[in-house]
Chains A and B, each alone.
Chain A
Amino acid sequence: MVPIIEVEHLMKDFKIAKRETGFAGAIRSLVKREFITKEAVKDISFTIEEGEMVGYIGPNGAGKSTTIKMLTGILVPSGGSVRVNGIIPYENRQKNAKNIGVVFGQRTQLWWDLPTIESFELLKEIYQVSNERYEENMATFTDILGLDEFLDTPVRQLSLGQRMRADIAASLLHDPPILFLDEPTIGLDVVAKEKMRTFIKEINKERNITVILTTHDMEDIEKLCKRMVLIDHGQKVYDGEISVVKDRFGKIRTLVVDLEESDCILQLSGGKVFKEEGNRYWIHFNRDEVSASELIAQITSTHNIKDLTVEEPEIESIISRIYQEGFQDLPNPVKV
């Protein structure tokens, strides 16, 4: 079977005009502008099969959104090739548009000053969705996402969570086979995040929609994706099963404790102090080997704890650990 998304040696440079300073600089820039080239995406290749749900992750500025924008056809690649459902997106934007649904968590695609329902109706016309299909979809989405509580409210008055729900419903009205979600849970509270995840999971399963998802929330990935593509500085670092990365890096938790005294030597079985500042200590531990409460018990037997927190691993910290420790000995090395 031909993969539904094919990305090969994809590149994107941005030319940024250099800001000259001072009077002489201003005059010079009138005549000749200097540009700095920023390589947002350097050389990324991957393929995605129909029905897959893939987490596309990486630290801030890694090039995730830039990649998604090239998949949607908004941006023209500087090199390499993209194919989405057999179409080269930037050459055939309108045709590609019918195949994809897109949510950019950071900005809405709904019409700002129209009541939410009117945006839906407008999209219905734009995508030529039949009345029956429209009713069906609206019923399903309303059911899971609770749209009915704000359908008559203008988009600009929606809360972030409501807006995000409206946006994802809007992206699916025309039954696209592919869905791009760029940080669909950003800024949502725990309950709203959970709802969003349930919804994404369901449409992926029920409708066999192929999903690419970027996020900074490790839980999104854990709950939704089997596979992840990890990028950094515009290059692919890892592509494979999440469980592999999670087994290896995701179980490391950090216990942060404030003790009454400083300069203690903490000897802990199952935990390792990797940083200390005054009387605050950061301790790595593997939750499979030792529980946080066991560690705390060990510490309290010799010291007094004033305060403590347990930190979940963020995708950023996992990535930085992957960087430090390397991939060479991962059982499932980088696929190219």
Chain B
Amino acid sequence: MFNYRVYWTFTKKSFLRSSVYRFDVWSRLGSNIIFLLMWGSIWTALYAGREEAGGVGFEAMLTYIVVSQFLTGVNGAGTPLWEIQEKVRTGDIALELMRPFDIPLRYLFADIGSVAFYIVTALLPLYTVLFIFMDLALPTDWLTWLYFVVASIIGFMIRYCIEMSFGLLTFFLVETGGIEDIFYFAMSLLSGSVIPLWFFPDWLATIALYLPFQGIYYIPNAIFIGEIAGAEILVSIGIQLFWVAVTYMTLRLIWNRASRKVVVQGG
């Protein structure tokens, strides 16, 4: 049933398509850098010259921010939420139902294409330079790098499943502004992308720990700076895998219901 060539085509096409919208890449990179500078100076001010806060050194914190901005770049390069809302709103989603492919997978592979383009052309060059010239706490052994890459990829999958699920809610709701707000709020706060979980008040940290969002930013990032280490790494990746499974099944469930509810306007 699964024919990877069909999906791979979407990856290639959306990779090429991203190159058409080069301005988009530059503007996104610009805002990525601005946010990096902003968070960098906020945290510098918060540390106020101290070597350490919340048990984490300044250098590690700065690294956390840089990595977090890198992951934001990765996870923000695809736009399935927006795309799917647009398709549902215009009714074009129906036309895709008449094609011999699975729609959630097709968007995943397209997403991979645009993210790959952005990573190769913008993120990697920029962050390589940052890693070389800034005083950051880089992992010293290659295994940590490997875990980081693996955890980031799983995080990407979790984010995709959640984002797509939110997007599909457009089928059931007339207005979706609220949905988007919830999504972006959870993505920025509960994921630990702007504030690491260890600075959260206990109750909020507990909530965040029981939600899938931490698997997107916090886990890969904490592995990178060594906050999660040793046997804990595998446990964390296990937690991520658990969340991929749960969010993927949720996505499938929502998709099954949504695809029966398709409304095609006009014609």
Residues of A within 8 A of B (CB): 14, 17, 65, 69, 72-76, 90, 93-98, 100, 102, 104, 106-107, 109, 113-114, 118, 122, 125-128, 182-183
Q: CB of B245 within 8 A of chain A?
A: no
Judge whether A106 and B6 touch: CB under 8 Å: no
Within 8 A of A (CB), among B1-24: 3, 5-6, 9, 13, 17, 20
Q: How far is the CA of A174 from the CA of B260 in the complex (A)?
A: 26
Which A residue's beta carbon lies closest to that of B90? A107
A76 CA / B13 CA spacing, docked (Å): 31
Binds A, one of B67-75, B77-85, B99-107: B99-107
Beyond A94-B100, A125-B5, A128-B5, 11 extra complex contacts between A and B, CB < 8 Å: A73-B97, A75-B262, A90-B260, A98-B100, A104-B267, A109-B95, A114-B17, A118-B13, A126-B6, A127-B100, A183-B267
Q: How far is the CA of A65 from the CA of B265 in the complex (A)?
A: 10
In this assembly, does B143 line the interface, its C-beta being within 8 Å of a C-beta of chain A?
A: no
Contact call A93/B260, Cβ cutoff below 8 A? no
Residues of the A chain whose Cβ atoms lie less than 8 Å from the Cβ of B99: 94, 97, 126
Contact A100 B267 (CB under 8 A): no
Q: Are A97 and B267 in contact (CB under 8 A)?
A: no
Question: How distant is A309 from chain B, measured CB to nearest CB, in Å?
Answer: 31
Closest residue of A by beta carbon distance from B8: A125
- Chain A contacts of B264 at CB under 8 A? 69, 74-75
- CB-based contact B13/A97 at 8 Å: no
Flag if A100 contacts B101 (CB, 8 Å): no
**Interface pair B267/A126, CB less than 8 Å apart:** no
With A74-B94, A97-B100, A109-B95 already in contact, the answer to whether A65 and B267 are too (CB < 8 A) is: yes
Q: List 10 A-B pairs, minimum CB-CB distance, nearest first.
A: A125-B9, A97-B100, A94-B100, A74-B94, A65-B267, A106-B267, A109-B95, A72-B98, A74-B97, A104-B267
Instruction: Specify which chain A residues have a CB less than 8 angstroms from the CB of B262 in the assembled complex.
Output: 74-75
B266 is an interface residue with CB less than 8 A from chain A: yes
With CB as the reference atom, state the residue of chain A lying closest to B91.
A107
In the bound complex, how far is the Cα of B259 from the Cα of A217, in angstroms?
Answer: 33
B100 contacts A95, CB within 8 Å?
Answer: yes
> Quick check: B266 and A107 within 8 Å, CB to CB?
yes
Are B102's CB and A94's CB within 8 A? Answer: yes
CB pair A107–B95 under 8 Å, yes or no, is yes
Contact yes or no, B98 A125, CB < 8 A? no
Instruction: Determine the interface band of chain B, counting residues with CB < 8 A from chain A.
Output: 20 to 34
Evaluate contact between A74 and B5: CB separation under 8 angstroms.
no
Q: Could you tell me the distance in whole angstroms from the C-beta of A25 to the nearest C-beta in chain B?
A: 15
Complex Cα gap A72–B96 (Å): 11
Which residues of B lie under 8 Å from residue A14 when comparing CB positions? 263
Chain A residues closer than 8 Å to B266, beta-carbon distance: 106-107
With known contacts A75-B262, A75-B264, A94–B101 Cβ distance under 8 A: yes
Q: Give the CA-CA distance A69 to B267 in the complex, in Å.
A: 10
A113 contact set on B, CB distance < 8 A: 17, 20
Given contacts A65-B267, A75-B264, A106-B266, contact A126 B101 (CB under 8 A): yes
How far, in angstroms, from A76 to B95 measured CA to CA in the complex?
14
**Which residues on the A side are within 8 Å of B91 (C-beta)?**
107
Report Cα–Cα, A127/B102, bound state, in Å.
13
Residues of B within 8 A of A122 (CB): 9, 13
Q: A72 contacts which chain B residues (CB < 8 A)?
A: 97-98
| Interchain CA distance A183-B101 in the complex, whole Å | 26
- CB within 8 A of B6: which of A65, A75, A100, A128? A128
Distance of A93 Cα from B9 Cα, bound (Å): 20
A126 touches B98 (CB 8 A): no
- Complex Cα spacing A87 to B211, Å: 41
When distances are taken between beta carbons in the complex, the residues of chain A under 8 Å from B101 are: 94, 126
- Pick the residue among A100, A106, A126 that contacts B9 (CB under 8 A): A126
A100 contacts B3, C-beta separation under 8 Å? no
Contact partners of B13 in chain A: CB under 8 A = 114, 118, 122
Closest A residue to B174 by beta carbon equals A17
Interface centre among B17, B20, B98, B263 (most CB of A within 10 A): B98
Across-interface contacts of A74 in B (CB, < 8 A): 94-95, 97-98, 262, 264
**For residue A93, which residues in chain B have a CB less than 8 angstroms away from its CB?**
97-98, 259
Q: Which of A74, A90, A94, A113 has the most CB of B within 10 A?
A: A74
Residues of B within 8 Å of A97, CB to CB, are 98-100
Is there an interface contact between A69 and B94, defined as CB atoms closer than 8 Å? yes
- The reply to whether B98 and A100 form a contact with Cβ atoms under 8 Å apart is yes
Contact B100 A126 (CB under 8 A): yes
A114 neighbours in B (Cβ, 8 Å): 13, 17
Q: Give the docked Cα–Cα distance between A104 and B267 (Å).
A: 7
Residues in B with CB closer than 8 Å to A118 are: 13
**Contacts of B202-241 to chain A: CB distance below 8 A:** none
Q: How far is the CB of A105 from chain B (nearest CB, A)?
A: 8
CA distance A65 to B263 in the complex (A): 12
Chain B nearest Cβ from A206, distance in angstroms:
24
Query: In the complex the two chains form, what is the Cα distance from A123 to B262 in whole Å?
Result: 23
State A95–B101 Cα separation when bound (angstroms). 9
Q: How far is the CB of B243 from chain A (nearest CB, A)?
A: 28
Measured CA separation A183–B263 after assembly (Å): 19
